[in-house]
Amino acid sequence: MHVIDSHTGGEPTRVILDGAPDLGTGPLAERAKRLADSHHAFRNAVLREPRGQPAMVAVVPVPPTRSDCLTGAIYFDAGAVLGMCGHATIGLAVTLAHLGRISLGSHRIETPAGMVEVTLDDPNTVTLQNIESRRVRKSAPVTLPGQRRVTGDVAYGGNWFFIVDPSPLSVTVDNIPALTDLSIALREAANAQGIGGEAGQPIDHVILNEPHPDNTGQHRNFTLCPDNDYDRSPCGTGSSARLACLAADGLLPPDTEIVQHSVIGSQYRLSYQPGPCGGVVASIVGQAFVHAETRLFFDPRDPFNSGITT
C-alpha cells in the first residue's frame, strides 16, 4: 500500500494512494458507510500500531460524483469513519501538491459532508473553505457521574461537537490526561442523555475551549476525537462549529479573522461568511508538511498484521 504521511499543526494525516478497498460508486456518504460497515479490519491495520500512530487520520481519495471537483475524499481515524476532516483536507492538498498533481490556486474536493474548497497559497499553506456549519443547541446541560452538570453548545462543522466554553479545566499540556477523561465522560453522558444533532446524531467530538493566557483575545482548545485521542491541531471542523456558535451569539462579525490555538500551541487563522441556510461558511488557514512516503506491507504471518487493538 502506497501512502504519504503529513502533519497539519502537529496532527498526522495518511493519504492512501493505492491499496484501499473498492468502495464502489454512488454518493460519498454511501461509500463512507461501506467503509465503516465492511472494512473495520482494514482501518485498524492502517492506523493502529505498529503501522499507524495515535491521532492519525487516513484519507482515501476516490472518484468524485461532481464534475467540478478535483477528487473525492473519505476520512477515517482509528475510532470512526468521519464526515469531514479539516486538518486532513489541508494535508491532502499539500500531499497532492507534493506529488505535482495540483498547482497553486483553488480546487474543489467532494467529501461525505459536502463539497469543500482548498486554496493552495504556497506549497505548505492552505485556505480551506468548509461546508456550512451551524449551531443546533445552546447551553445544553449534561449531567456527569456524581450529579455534576456541565453545559455546552451542540454544533455541526462536518462532524458533531459538544463545545464547552470556558473549559472547567485549564487547557494545558500538563492537563491532557485529565482533559481527555473529562471529554470522554462528557461525550458518553451527552449521547446517553440524547443530546446531539437535530435528527438524533450522536456527539463524536468534544471541545474544551478557553481564552489564551496572553490576554490578546485569542483562544486555545482541547479537542477529543472519536478514537479517544486528542487533536494536535486546533481541529478544522471543530473550529468551524465554534465559529457557528460565535456568529449565533453575535460575538464575531463576518470577515473578522481570529486565531485559534490547539492545546500544543499550533494555530489556525479563522473567519467566516454567512451561509445560505442560516449557518456559517468557515475559512480556515493552516499549514501542513509532508514527512514520509512509504509502502505498507501486510504479511498474514505477522501476529499484528491487523493492528494492535488492545
Catalytically active residues are: 85, 235
Amino acid at 45: A
Distance (Å, whole) CA 59 – CA 74: 6
* 148-174 b/e (C-beta count within 10 Å ≥ 16 → b): eebebbbbbbbbbbbbbbebebebeee
Report the sign of the C-alpha dihedral through residues 17, 23, 25, 29, in that order: negative
With beta carbons less than 8 A apart as the criterion, state whether 12 and 56 touch: yes
> Cα separations (Å) of 187 from 14, 97, 181, 192, 263?
26, 37, 10, 8, 19
Three-point CA angle 207, 171, 289, nearest 5°: 75
With H, G, I as helix, E, B as strand and everything else as coil, classify residue 46: helix
The closest of 187, 178, 275, 171 to 227, measured between CA atoms, is 187
Per the structure block, which three cell numbers stand in for 11?
496532527
Provide CB contacts within 8 A for 147, sequence distance 6+.
Answer: none
Beta bridge pairs of residue 283: 129, 271
* 183-194 b/e (C-beta count within 10 Å ≥ 16 → b): bebbbebbbeee
